[in-house]
Amino acid sequence: MIKTILGFPALLLFATASQAAWEVNLPRGVTEVSREIYDLHMTIFWICVAIGVVVFGVMLWSVIYHRKSRGAKAHNFHENVLVEIAWTVVPFIILIAMAVPATATLIKMYDNTEAELDIQITGYQWKWRYQYLGEEIDFFSSLSTPRDQINNAAVKGEHYLLEVDNPLVIPAGKKVRFLLTANDVIHSWWVPDLAVKKDAIPGFINEAWTIVNEPGVYRGQCAELCGKDHGFMPIVVEVKAQADFDAWLAEVKQADQDKAAEAQKSWTLAELMETGEEVYNKACLACHQANGEGIPGVFPGLKNSPIALGDPGPHIDVVLNGKQGTAMQAFRDQLTAVELAAVITYERNAWGNKVGDLVTPAQIAELKE
Amino acid sequence: MNTSVAVSHHHGPASGISRWLFTTNHKDIGTLYLWFSFLMFLTGGCMALLIRAELFQPGLQLIQPDFFNQMTTMHGLIMVFGAVMPAFVGLANWMIPLMVGAPDMALPRMNNWSFWILPFAFAMMISTLFMDGGAPNFGWTFYAPLSTTYAPPSVTFFIFAVHMMGISSIMGAINIIATILNLRAPGMTMMKLPLFVWTWLITAFLLIAVMPVLAGVVTMMLMDIHFGTSFFDAAGGGDPVLFQHVFWFFGHPEVYIMILPAFGIVSEIIPTFARKKLFGYASMVYATASIAVLSFVVWAHHMFTVGLPLAGELFFMFATMLIAVPTGVKVFNWVATMFRGSMTFETPMLFALAFVVLFTIGGFSGLMLAIAPVDFQYHDTYFVVAHFHYVLVPGAVFAIMAGAYYWLPKWCGNYYNETMGKVHFWCNFIGVNITFFPMHFIGLAGMPRRIPDYALQFADFNAIATVGAFIFGFSQLIFLYNVISCIRNSKPASDRVWEGSHGLEWTVASPAPYHSFSEPPQVK
């Protein structure tokens, strides 16, 4: 009665709201494979529940009825070959029944052939790089949740820690193959709705694939401990209809050209410092910290550092090419010429570092050639 | 614990601190192991509480991510190597000679050394927290290259600490094997050994087989870090996945090292309080042995997502599922032992019953994790965290608690306070389930493990888990108080202690004299 008065829409709203807060199961996901996995998961779960009910049932029965306080006398049996063989063989048969569908699904998941789009995914501490093979598209994707929200200085948004600046965009209905590797330590690329989880291992390439039919936004996270900010490298996949996907491709290519042109204009110190601070906060702050002092013993400080205060050559070199055997990455491909010039200039003139010189985007663009 | 004991006309314990430093007595060394493991249990527990406190709400409140990683790493290492393993060795030291009718362990001086290495190993490992760059922060599984190229400088101290723990474990294992094979009383044939002794014999062989593998893998790390090799660095021709293969070849038998003695303890306690012989003794022995053998061929189920070839994936899936068979046999045997018994529910029995139920739940989630295609969704989530905490906390730790309450009257000569024991049990039982059951949910819903901060949909269950953790953690103080008051003054225990007790350990006086079985007993 009350339900009909409230009306169906209201009920639905309530259901989704409470579900968001009390999600207790695997998502069914949006791919054929993810649904098969979900079904497998539920089948095995219910088999376990059934076995549990029987075993715990007998145990509970004994606890209630075969207790001394009820006057129960202990019987004297302590072996029975037939029973013991039975409870060895029956579980074995149940296991075979589980293994058959599991094997079928696994074989399907391993079929990496006939992909229509190949994307190379590279894990970096702590961001993802997506390269569309054959399309000349190459960008980095990192957490876009503002630091204030993490430090509880601002209200947390709906997609707290599950939002990025540049999502991975793939076309709907196409078989997309992911080639996974890593630049530094092992990461693991995981999007639950696609049921894709694969380790990204430095020096090796792993394969995974997906076909998503419904356009939408799907979120995931790095699943392998990869250092300090392991919890802060989410994955967002945007699935677009083919036409929208093509438009997006064109748009990204245009934007890349515009950025290249920007490097040739002349920049003032103030402009570079402003851009530099933005870039620093996005790309450098996680290790070298907001005050430029780093974390003693782990990440060196930039404030008063001989490299940041010395000749610009070595400074540019370490930012562009990284430092072998340390956590310092090569930023040559991660940032544009303007961003590189700006951030190097910023590091040389922030936190009381006052070199006063200016590294120009044109200079970096030349080095990047 | 046996402070007021020296009944025998032989020489008694030395006085003062030298008694503990130089002792070769299995009871003293067992006591040292047990106190040490309890101290480590509290230390690792404080770290767990710090982790749970940070995870109480989304956002960073108490600790920063790097320190969070240090805490998860140290918590895991301390609990595995400092709390659970030494507790089992302590129980073995105390009980195995008493159970097989031996006067002491076979190699008493080595026994002293096995123990006294440990405090130094852990002092070294814990001291890394105060070093430049902090303690190890790469998880207790220390995957390369995060633990080599990208590790803090303290990793070298961690490597040496692991070496020392390994030496201690191997010596302990050799001692246990030598004692069981050589010092059994006349008439104590292998198939008459109490199950605790059998499970420890098998565990000791596992230890000897895999601790050198652990030593090998940390040595390879040491070489990579300091001597220019590239075992785990692809740029130099090595392979980061090799690390995982070697580590888990140690790591999987290691998890059975932490559970087989627990099976043994529970197999002692249930028959006592059901007043009925253990059902299927022989099949229990065979099941334990088959679990041990299988543990060597399932390691890559920890690595289903590293990109194994299909054939490898299938092999490790099938082998892993197979473990459910002998494990099932054990659970069925325990239940059949209770069936038509005459049960009472003293504290050790409560812990043993909780062990059977909650360990089985951990076994179910283990079976689910064995299914490789589904494991792609579970891997490295809180579902895994829930699984291994179910088998380790209400599994291994509850069995240790059960064993401690069960034998405490024999050790101290006094009964512990039964009411306080029951309060401790119920706080533990409720606390453990509130802590770890919700982790199944957040894991399935998609929360990765080892993250200091999480998306908003995981907030409610995380808050609940934190509350449970504090209940569980602080209730250990009840146990501590109960043990101390049991040692100091309490109701004197009879020699048999329990109405349904069985086995040689109950034929000696309570408290067990400093030297027991100077004349070997006859076993019929």
Residue B15 located in a structural domain: no
Name residues whose C-beta falls within 8 Å of residue A20's C-beta, 6 or more positions apart in sequence: B457
CB A225 within 8 A of CB B139: yes
Same domain, A78 and A193: no
Residue B494 lies in a domain: yes
Has residue B13 been placed in a domain?
no
Let me know whether A200 and A244 are in one domain. Answer: yes
Whether A87 maps to a domain, the answer reads yes
d(CA B374, CA A106): 9
Whether A10 maps to a domain, the answer reads no
Give the number of domains in chain A: 3
Q: Are residues A91 and A123 in the same domain?
A: no
The predicted model gives B489-510 an average pLDDT of 92
On whether any CB of chain A is under 8 Å from the CB of B137, the answer is yes
Who among B324, B336, B455 is closest to A91 (CB)?
B324
Contact with chain A for residue B286, Cβ under 8 A? no
In 3D, which of A138, A142, A156, A154 has the Cα closest to residue A278? A142
Answer for the pair B289, A70: CB distance below 8 angstroms, yes or no.
no
Q: How far apart are CA B404 and CA B141, in angstroms?
A: 29
- The verdict on residue B87 lying in a domain is yes
Q: Which of A76, A80, A84 to mutate to test the interface with B (most CBs of B within 10 A)?
A: A84
Q: How confident is the model at residue A22 (pLDDT cuts 50, 70, 90)?
A: low
* A85 and A98 both lie in a single domain: yes
Do A92 and A141 have their domain in common?
Answer: no
Q: Is residue B446 exposed (0-12), middle (13-18) or buried (19+ Cβ within 10 Å)?
A: buried
- Dump pLDDT digits (tens) for A179-203: 999 999 999 999 999 999 999 999 9
Mean pLDDT calculated for residue range B491-502: 93
Contact assignment for A25 to B276 by CB distance below 8 Å? no
Helices B260-274 and B195-226: angle between axes, nearest 10 degrees: 160
> In chain A, whose CA is at the least distance from the CA of B500?
A74
**The domain spanning residue B219 has which CATH number?**
1.20.210.10
Q: Does residue A223 share a domain with residue A196? A: yes
Instruction: Give dist(CA B238, CA B217) in Å, integer.
Output: 13
Query: Do residues A47 and A136 both lie within one domain?
Result: no
The answer to whether residue A19 sits within a structural domain is no
- DSSP lists the bridge partners of residue A197 as A190
Do residues A363 and A289 share a domain?
Answer: yes
Of B65, B336, B377, the CB nearest to A37: B377
B431 and B468 in contact (C-beta within 8 Å)?
Answer: yes
CATH of the domain at A222: 2.60.40.420
The arithmetic mean of pLDDT across residues A147-161, rounded, is 93
A185 & A234 share domain: yes
Q: Which of A235, A258, A281 is the last residue of a domain?
A: A258
Question: Which pTM does this prediction carry?
Answer: 0.91
Arithmetic mean of pLDDT, A17-22: 49
Confidence of residue B10 (pLDDT cuts 50, 70, 90): low
pLDDT in tens, B216-238: 999 999 999 999 999 999 999 99
Cβ A203–B235 below 8 Å, yes or no? yes
In a domain, B7, yes or no: no
pLDDT tens for residues B143-183? Answer: 999 999 999 999 999 999 999 999 999 999 999 999 999 99
Are A300 and A183 within one domain? no
**How many structural domains does chain B have?**
1
Q: How far apart are CA B29 and CA B378, in angstroms?
A: 42
More confident of the two residues A354 and A117 = A117
Residue A92 lies in a domain: yes
Q: Which domain holds residue B311?
A: 27-506
A89 and A142 both lie in a single domain: no
CATH value at residue A37: 1.10.287.90
Q: What is the pLDDT of residue B138?
A: 95
Of the residues A92, A109, A126, which one is the last residue of a structural domain? A109
Task: Supply the residues of B annotated as catalytic.
Answer: 75, 104, 140, 168-169, 252, 254, 256, 267, 301-302, 327, 330, 449
Look at residues A65, A88, A109 and tell me which one is the last residue of a structural domain. A109
Report d(CA A76, CA B371) in Å as an integer.
Answer: 40
Q: Could you report the per-residue pLDDT of A42-76, keeping only the tens digit for each?
A: 999 999 999 999 999 999 999 999 999 998 898 98
Task: Give pLDDT, residue B377.
Answer: 97
Determine, yes or no, domain membership for B521: no
- Indicate whether B274 belongs to any domain: yes
Q: Are residues A269 and A175 in the same domain?
A: no
Range of the domain at A42: 24-109
ipTM of the complex: 0.92
301-340 of B, contacting A, C-beta below 8 A: 305-307, 310, 313-314, 317-318, 321-322, 324-325, 328-329, 331-332, 335-340
What pLDDT digit, counting tens, does each position of B112-136 carry? 999 999 999 999 999 999 998 899 9
The 10s digit of each residue's pLDDT in B472-483 is 999 999 999 999
Per-residue confidence at B82, pLDDT binned at 50, 70, 90? very high
- Tell me the nearest-neighbour CA distance from A297 into chain B, angstroms: 4
Instruction: Assign residue A318 the CATH number of its domain.
Output: 1.10.760.10
